[in-house]
Amino acid sequence: MILPRSFYLDHDVLDISKKLLGKVLVSDLGGQRTAGMIVETEAYRAPEDKASHAYNNRLTTRTKTMFAMGGVSYVYICYGIHHLFNVVTAEEGVAHAVLVRAVEPLEGMDTMLKRRGFDRLRPELTNGPGKFTVAMGIYKDHDGIALYEASGPLFIEDHRKGEDRFEITSGPRVGMTSAEECAHWPWRFRIKDNRWTSKPNVVKYDW
DNA sequence: CGAATGATCGGCT
DNA sequence: GCCGATCATTCGA
């Protein structure tokens, strides 16, 4: 079943980041349907989170979708090349978001392989935020998509039956040199022992 | 294996 | 002009 909009409106973005693990992201573009289970996420909580684009409620053409009511996508370009997919949460005006960092392919593997130029399934197909978006055909035009509408090109489903559980591990977020202490907050979550998550980054300290 | 590098967009100073 | 919520490739041990 598709996740209702109410799922995204909670104010606790850390809790939503954990609850999104195990959910299924579906893209249906030009008759090509692909789906993947979310296995790794990161929470971004403006205004106090320096690592967020919306730190201090910074409002630009890029960040404005993060201020929308929860349940829509926030897709932006990173390093000029990569299109990263986020889920906007909380009520309108609160710029919380969850970055999806890796998915486990479930459906449309042939399409994913073709889009990535791979000849067979292996974790590198989808184990990074800029990798699975290519595999699933997601790019910056998919900013602001309603993820609770099955008629759209992008939506999120819950395939779980309730009692099938998994363990969640948490660690520091990565790739942010200017975010200071915020970068060390354990706001990165993954399904324990899942082979489709990205490699744990080594955090270097200067002293 | 690890380190270095280029790709090149949006937003800041 | 500089830098980043990254990745693929190259080069060297």
Residues β-bridged to residue A43: A98
Q: Is the CB of A151 under 7 A from strand B?
A: no
Q: Which tens digit of pLDDT belongs to each residue from A96-112?
A: 999 999 999 999 999 99
Q: Which residues contact A112 (CB under 8 A, 6 or more apart)?
A: A34, A105, A118, A125, A126, A135, A136
A202 Cβ contact list (under 8 Å, min separation 6): none
Nucleotides of strand C within 7 Å of the protein's CB atoms: 3-8
A46-50, A82-86, A115-119, A158-162: least confidently modelled range: A158-162
Q: Which amino acid is at A27?
A: S
| Protein CA A165 to sugar C1' B8 (Å) | 42
Model confidence pLDDT, tens digit, residues A42-95: 999 999 999 999 999 999 999 999 999 999 999 999 999 999 999 999 999 999
Q: How many residues does chain A have?
A: 207
